[in-house]
Structure 1
Amino acid sequence: MKLTKRQIDNAACDENKARCLWDDNLTGFGVKLLPSGAKRYFVKYRSYGGGRRAKQRWFTIGTHGQIPFEQAKEDARQILAAVKRGEDPQGEKLAIRDAPKLVDAWEKFEREELANKKPATIRDYTSCWERHIAPRLGSTKAVDVSRSDVSRLHQSLSNTPYLANRMLALLSSLMNRCEAWEWREQGTNPCRFVKKFEEQPRERYLSSPELERLGKALRDLVDEGAIWPDVANLIKLLLLTGARRNEIATCEWGWIDWERQVIMLPDSKTGAKPLFLGDSAIEVLQRQKVTTRDPASTYVFPGKKQNYPLVNLSKPWKRICEFAELNDVRIHDLRHTAASIAVGKGVALPVIGRLLGHTQTQTTARYAHVDNQPALAAANAIGNGVADCIE
């Protein structure tokens, strides 16, 4: 029977049971009559042009009355022609509908890879995802994220170039994972040609007068009981070693090799490494043994909570800076100051790199041939430059 528009207009189904009208002139094409009164055009076929063992597919073309009958029939011809070419139009439609979203990529990344990162990295990545990427692109299918989407998001953070570039790096990493998981075509990372913002490196070093004011502030605030001796000793040790804050703040007594004058850090931003201690740094540590708020603690600088290190330095550091009249100085700038003093004392750059544990691969390779003695000499050079000001 040849299916016509008039037939469809006049056709109806039982009250509780749908039925189909078929077009004998175009095998697989028909219209489904629903109890609701709706009439929907469809094509029935075997996927990829296969035989009886191939999966049976029902492809809905549209609703009668919303698209013309002849248009529906022509669409059916195109679909069936695609099936003869070995395609699966309904399968592709379902794949697009069920394609994973970017939030699925994040959950897989979080579950399989992020858990192995360092705590600070986990914190930074999670914050960047939750605050910037998820609200804008989380519900977008991974395959549909475009370069214009990425560019708009990147531009929206133009007032914070560093953050914008870190966000771009994280998103690019997620897109690379999507390619690896075959959620996107290979080589389609939409972050690839989005230009990063220029970042102005922050160069802030404490001058000799500023170091003197810092030393006085540490002494006076301890005498007044405004800060704990632990805080003052921690600040001094950061200056004397050029270490990162957490490398000192989470240090345990068992990591210190007093004879070799090193702290053997089991982990750091760049992995396990020795932290060299000049004579002035050793003196600070010996003083800390006496003044520590918790002599029984395994941590060199114990926090208020038992069995926890000193973690919150923001409030005491703000008080110290106000007392010492230090403007725009971060705790991390103490590390920069240590490096600048070492340079001023004529210490070779590779030795400074070994001392501070820089992250550049090519630089680290050069440090591999520097033995402990020059590094200890560098630690003493920094100590001599700092100690006169802060003691």
Structure 2
Amino acid sequence: MVKKRGNGQGYARKRGNTWTAVWTVGFEVLDGGKLRQAYKTKGGFRTKTEALQYASNPNGDSNGKAPNLYYYWQMWSENGLTKLGASKQTAYKIAKSKIETLFFYPVDQLTIKQMQDAVNEKAPTFYPAKDIKTLLTTLLNFAVAEQWIQTNLAEFITLPELDEKEMEPFTEIELHRLWDAYGKGEAFVGFILLMIYSGMMPGELFLFKKSMVDWEACEIRGCGLKTKKRKETPIVFPEIIAPVLLELCQQSKSRVGNVLCMNRDNFYKEYHSTLQRVGVRDLPPYSCRHTTATALALGNIAPSVIQEVMRHTKFTTTQRYIHPDTAAAHEAINHLDKGKSQ
């Protein structure tokens, strides 16, 4: 199968499960003096669109034409992107998919309005919009460095306001409602309870495998994200959440052992719909982790122990004098209860 593109911009050829970009690089003289076009190819593109984008401007500067965003995406994704954590890589790939239409334009033709309109349409909330702005800023920085543009216009994108609800923990009454819903068969609530009672980050759920659980020690090892502290420190969970965690593991049908068997978009959709369904405020997933820290603080747990449970890198002054061990972390996390009934 061959998909051609007009005006000599090259074409895309389907090969197996990927697409190959094909473009003209000149002419060669055959026997008898006849001319034949010479081609180059580059394979491995996930979609026809990506192959056509590359074929239209493979070198980034052919015929004096400015490269498009896809050219810089290819360059960055093979180098800088791979040095980021798995969750950040996923976030930027999602951001790219949301604004794919912008990748057709040469960088010197992109306007602030085009980029702002894309953000407004595809990312009405703060963090997805921030990922798009950061991605565009990163790619256009290359164009500035190569002098295709003088100013990085992505820096002028206005982000939606950060919802202040993100700093709120769930209340004790809401904890009771979550437990009640779980007891009545709302299986997904188990993931919400796991985040609340362990301090697990939403992104860590996507890396969490059954084999990471040490049931005897009540610890989860190997799915920590972002900081060295979180990667090296086990996630401790209280005995009260162990039966929930066991059921989540048993219900998983993943062939590779993942406990959560859904992609990022489906997870967030199910998370918010579940909260609404069980009568709990629609707080973001990070509020689960905030609930962990708040509950421990209200339980008069030493700040240094809270830091150990939360796996934070920054320490309070108190931590200079108190050196919690794993046992103290387990004792602290077990102070969380099922909340109070209304």
Normalising by the smaller structure, the TM-score range is 0.5 to 0.7
Structure-2 residue corresponding to 1:169:
134
Q: Which residues of 2 match residues 255-294 of structure 1 at below 5 A?
A: 255-256=212-213, 262-265=219-222, 267-271=224-228, 272-277=231-236, 281-282=238-239, 284-285=241-242, 287=243, 292=247
Distance 1:192 1:380 in 2: 47
- Matched ranges for 1:61-210 at <5 A: 97-132=64-99, 134-136=100-102, 138-142=103-107, 144=108, 149-150=111-112, 152-154=114-116, 157-158=119-120, 160-162=124-126, 163-180=128-145, 182=146, 184=148, 188-192=151-155, 196-201=159-164, 202-210=166-174
> CA separation in 2, counterparts of 1:350 and 1:130?
41
Deviation at 1:325, TM superposition (A): 2.0
Distance (Å, rounded) in 1 between the aligned partners of 2:192 and 2:160: 33
CA distance in 2, matches of 1:252, 1:380: 24
Residue identity in the other structure for 2:289: R
Distance in 1 separating the partners of 2:142 and 2:136: 10
* Structure 1 residue 174: Cα displacement: 0.9
Matched position secondary structure for 1:308: coil
Secondary structure of 1:157's counterpart equals helix
> Structure 1 CA distance, aligned partners of 2:125 and 2:269?
27
Matches within 5 A, 1:202-241: 202-221=166-185, 227=187, 234-241=191-198
Mark the CA change 1:382 to 1:105 in structure 2 (over 3 Å): closer, same or farther. Answer: same
| Structure possessing the higher relative contact order (Cα contacts under 8 Å, 6 or more residues apart) | 2
Q: Secondary structure at the match of 1:112?
A: coil
Indicate which of 282, 295, 317 corresponds to 1:341.
295
> What does the per-residue CA deviation read over 1:227-281, in whole Å, with 9 as the maximum and x for residues that have no partner?
3xxx565443322211114535643455445676543325423352313425xx2
Equivalent residue for 2:200, pick from 239, 243, 250: 243
Q: Which residue of 1 aligns with 2:57?
A: none
DSSP 3-state at the match of 2:293: helix
Q: Given residue 292 of structure 2, which amino acid in structure 1 is its aligned partner? A: A
Please give the alpha-carbon distance, in whole angstroms, between the structure 2 residues aligned to 1:206 and 1:324. Answer: 13
In 2: Cα distance, 1:244 partner to 1:253 partner: 17
Asked if the contact 2:178–2:189 (Cα under 8 Å) also holds between the matched residues in 1, the reply is no
CA distance in 2, matches of 1:167, 1:323: 31
Following the alignment from structure 2 to structure 1, what is the Cα–Cα distance between the partners of residues 86 and 141?
Answer: 22
Contact 1:262 1:277 in 2 (8 A): yes
Q: Distance in 1 between matches of 2:213 and 2:322?
A: 19
Count of matched residue pairs: 270
Partner residue, 1:373: 324
The answer on whether the counterparts of 2:197 and 2:241 sit within 8 Å (CA) in structure 1 is no
1:311 and 2:261 aligned:
yes
1:173 Cα shift? Answer: 0.8
Distance 1:340 1:368, change over 3 A: closer
Superimposed CA distance per residue, residues 153-203 of structure 1 (whole angstroms, 9 cap, x where no aligned partner): 2255347251333322111111223345x3547x74333455555423323
Larger Rg: 1
C-alpha distance in structure 2 between counterparts of 1:366 and 1:175, whole Å: 42
- The separation in 2 between residues aligned to 1:372 and 1:248, in whole angstroms, is 28
CA RMSD of aligned residues (A): 4.1
SS at match of 1:135: helix
Corresponding residue SS for 2:221: strand
Asked whether the 8 Å contact 2:304–2:319 carries over to 1, the reply is no
Does residue 324 in structure 1 map to residue 278 in structure 2?
yes
> Sequence identity, in percent?
19
The answer as to whether partners of 1:154 and 1:165 remain within 8 angstroms in 2 is: no
Tell me the alpha carbon deviations over residues 42-63 of structure 1, each in whole angstroms, 9 at most, x when there is no partner.
xxxxxxxxxxxxxxxxxxxxxx
Partners of 2:211 and 2:257 within 8 A in 1: no
TM-score (norm 1): 0.55
Tell me the residue number matched to 1:383: 334
The answer as to whether partners of 1:205 and 1:334 remain within 8 angstroms in 2 is yes
The answer (yes or no) to whether the contact 1:103–1:139 under 8 Å persists in 2 is yes
Distance 1:131 1:232 in 2: 29
Residue type of the alignment partner of 1:311: C
Unmatched runs of 5 consecutive residues or more in structure 1: 1-93, 294-299
* Residue identity opposite 2:294 in structure 1: S
Are 1:205 and 1:336, in contact at CA under 8 Å, matched by a contact in 2? yes
**1:383, 1:311 → 2: CA distance?**
27
Counterpart CA distance in 1 for 2:276 and 2:159 is: 36
